[in-house]
Chain A
């Protein structure tokens, strides 16, 4: 009987799915719309076949240095979620779509904390002791240069950054777990805003850490499996792929 009481979530394993950046964001947004329309919550895991710079929902287009992105073969895409610019390609990305919990449990921080428990449990399976980050307040244009209460750190360095959007009674939260570094970073791709402090590549490097640098397993499949197990354990979920999910076919 105890097994039947576990909450049932859909698992959408897109680790090997070759989608461009716009299709990745569309797939996450589709999850949100499905859950808002009554579908069960879902955890989607994916990686980026080509480097991409994602901008937050309302971040100015001019934050991206279009010439630099073109030169380095980086797609630019807009996320449905808030936050600042994130470079993808060396990361594993997770997305959770769930109904917004009723009452105070539905607060932004509360949902972050609930999902952080899954991420922390997953990373623990890789031998990584991650914790919820400090809160720096409003960030500059580079997401990973600052820490927010939604992020995970190891020591004082950011390993995972996340963002949310809430729509029609549902929440989409997605975020990047840094696996390894690319030869360039956000500081090479984001334009400097007039009057804004310049974030150097060295400072960004010092503020972040990857699983590879931690000496932890950093292969996408292994990290994805650990995160699935972590979410299942920490949130007491029956988490499996289901035949017939529109997102799986997408």
Chain B
């Protein structure tokens, strides 16, 4: 299982890559592995306001539909339209081409409350 050091993580198994006020968000390697083959991602709309830890998107795998939560509060400014044609990128490259949306954060300091790679690894491996 892969836990990139440079990312922050939510307890709901999303990752966050911070670039100034913007947070790029996807689901973790553990999450994609748990879900199995992803066949559809219901993306949030660009421009919607999202609350930290509130559901804002959904991912369907071959046998499950699961919510995706925004780890941070802010406004969705970009979504990964490529997933409409290639949802399997969530499985193949969860931290890269499988990113899901970008949030312009209301308060970038909110990221400090998220888990670091070690904390997330402990959550996954120790339950």
Partner-B contacts on A (CB < 8 A): 56-58, 80-83, 102-105, 107-109, 112, 135, 137-139, 148-150, 162-168
Contact = CB atoms under 8 A, between A and B. Distances in A.
Nearest to B67: A167
Given A102-B127, A104-B124, A163 B37 contact: no
Interface string B26-69: 00000000111101101000000000000100101111111100
B37 A81 contact: no
Contact of A138 (B35, B39, B42): B39
Interface residues of B, number: 21
Nearest to B88: A138
Contacts of B65: 57-58, 80-82, 164-166
Nearest to A171: B64
Given A138-B37, A138-B39, A149-B36, A108 B127 contact: no
A102 to B, nearest CB: 6
B64 A82 contact: yes
| Most chain A beta-carbon contacts within 10 A, residue among B63, B65, B124, B127 | B63
A104 B64 contact: no
Interface string B16-28: 0000000000000
Given A82-B63, A82-B64, A104-B34, 16 more contacts: A58-B58, A80-B65, A81-B64, A81-B65, A82-B61, A83-B63, A104-B127, A107-B34, A108-B34, A138-B62, A148-B62, A149-B36, A163-B64, A164-B63, A166-B64, A168-B67
Interface of B: 34-37, 39-40, 42, 55, 58, 60-67, 88, 124, 126-127
Contacts of B42: 58
A184 B14 CA distance: 44
24 contacts: A57-B58, A57-B65, A82-B39, A82-B60, A82-B63, A82-B65, A83-B62, A102-B127, A103-B126, A108-B35, A108-B36, A108-B61, A108-B63, A138-B62, A139-B62, A149-B36, A150-B62, A150-B63, A163-B63, A165-B66, A166-B64, A167-B55, A168-B55, A168-B67
B54 to A, nearest CB: 10
A160 B126 CA distance: 33
B62 A109 contact: no
A104 B40 CA distance: 23
